[in-house]
Amino acid sequence: MATRKITRALISVYYKDNLEPIIHRLGKAGVEFVSTGGTQQFIEKLGYPVTPVEKLTGYPSIFGGRVKTLHPAVFGGILFRRNDASDNEQASQYGIGPLDLVIVDLYPFEETVAAGGTDDEIIEKIDIGGISLIRAAAKNHEDVVIVASRAQYGGLLELLDKNNLQTETADRKRFAAMAFDVTSHYDSAIFGYFNNEQSLPAFKASHSSGMALRYGENPHQKGIFYGNLDELFEKLQGKELSYNNLVDVDAAVDLVQEFKGETAFVIIKHTNACGVATGRTVKEAYQKAFQADTLSAFGGVLVTNKEVDKDAAEAMNPLFFEILIAPGYTQDALSLLQAKKNRIILRQKQELRRKKQVKSLLNGLIEQDYDWKTDEPADLKVVTVRQPSEEETRGLLFASKICKHTKSNTIILAVEGQLLASGVGQTSRVDALRQAIEKARAFGFSLQGAVMASDAFFPFPDCVEIADQAGIRAVIQPGGSIKDKDSITFCDEHNMAMVFTGYRHFKH
């Protein structure tokens, strides 16, 4: 493994925070600095001489700063191979000195997009010279150390101190890998910006941070989460989230977002809702949600869209649950809930805003638009003689929201503001309905006057026949079967109301 001594460094960065200790460490060791613009001034103010890039290239910064470092005197100093006789001869012939360390970051493209910059402002934040320098130095990691982000400054300082500015191939290769991580992420972000308009059939995704999980879905599987959970949640108590925790948290916050303008409570177990309710208070919503399945709630994930107060905390405190998520907690509620140390308590900072859904499949990926459609009163088409009552309509829309987030085939039984039971993930819609009816009765619910939601159409009238026998009086479904008339006729003959939405909500 080749050892290289840092004697000359090119430093040109947008962000200069935490750069000063590196400058002092290099400067006191006699390293020659090459730099540009603001970074040059920064180094000089710290008391160290700097060779301007313009002196190497013979050109000033031109075209509004678009061209500064794109020159053989710069790139030759990075790319020439120190152990290649021909390269050394050419470097000597053209007066190209070696650059052993390159510290360069990139213009804030993603930040400019996120801040709502104009197209011109965003385009100007597409870095050319910086990314070229990074790629060049990373390619020639046999001879050059590349630092491509301020996040790597700490690691560089450790490396400089370890062997008094001597670096090994393994050190340089690691920094090269991190550099290509930076450049690939940057290019993916740029592509994503352009492809929002162009919609090319290409998939590019990049997450610059990954969190190792205790294990995957099962203990023998490795798991990593790619993303920034801190953007969504503040963890107020508890251990790190596991793979299964994350899957359930995703399902929980997804579902509770459906209930805008209401006080809602959701209890999730294995990604499906075992309890959902709305109420005048969080306490009332929790108690109604818990009634739907007092067994499955054990060890579940709880979420509400309103602040948890002491009354709500006292109601749910006896329950053993894995995770509680809310947008806020009163101090007395938090103190009570934190008394049980194994609980994970999260404060949700913002809603989910994803546009796409991606899944690994066979030897590739499938991608689709996220299903943000929520069935609304304007979507409802009454297809039976009997119109649903206002209360039934509210119950149907409530049930439809839950149905959308439950594994297919699914049937949801509910009344206004309360889930009574669900049939989940059955190969037959009839089986899903029978499962739901049996479960509702097991937990003491009468289905007289209840409503039913289905995630897809009824190919036969058997489901409405069974629903009628159980006492269900109103049904919501997408419609679209060639035999819709059979179900409609049965409902008319038995004084049931049925509405079509025109929207199917399969979930697999």
Whether the Cβ atoms of residue 466 and residue 354 lie closer than 8 Å to each other: no
Whether the Cβ atoms of residue 314 and residue 336 lie closer than 8 Å to each other: yes
Nearest to 229 by CA among 221, 215, 217, 241: 241
Cα gap 27→304, rounded to integer Å: 55
- C-alpha distances out from residue 356 to 165, 235, 338, 352, 500, Å: 46, 26, 36, 11, 26
The total number of residues shown for the chain amounts to: 508
CA angle 137, 140, 143 (to 5 degrees): 100
- C-alpha distances out from residue 256 to 259, 267, 334, 338, Å: 6, 10, 21, 23
Kindly report the number of other CB atoms within 10 A of residue 121's CB atom.
12
Cα 109 to chain center, whole Å? 19
Active-site residue, 139 included: yes
Whether the Cβ atoms of residue 424 and residue 402 lie closer than 8 Å to each other: no
Structure tokens at 336: 């009570």
Nearest to 266 by CA among 325, 339, 343: 325
What are the φ/ψ torsions at residue 168 (nearest 5 degrees)?
Answer: -105, 160
Residue 331 β-bridge partners = none
Q: Is the dihedral of CA 470, 471, 475, 481 positive or negative?
A: positive
> Would you call 274 helix, strand, or coil by DSSP?
strand
State how beta strands 474-477 and 451-454 pair. parallel
| 133: amino acid identity, one letter | L
Please pick, among 71, 125, 139, 507, the residue that the annotation labels catalytic: 139
Active-site residue, 270 included: yes
Cα gap 193→62, rounded to integer Å: 27
Q: What share of the chain is helix, strand, coil (3-state, %, to 5)?
A: 40, 20, 40
Axis crossing angle, helix 153-162 with helix 169-198, rounded to the nearest 10:
170
> Would you call 368 helix, strand, or coil by DSSP?
strand
Nearest to 209 by CA among 190, 225, 233: 225
Which helix (H) or strand (E) element contains residue 312?
helix 310-316
Cα gap 212→210, rounded to integer Å: 7
Structure tokens at 464: 């409405």
The residues carrying an active-site annotation are 139, 270
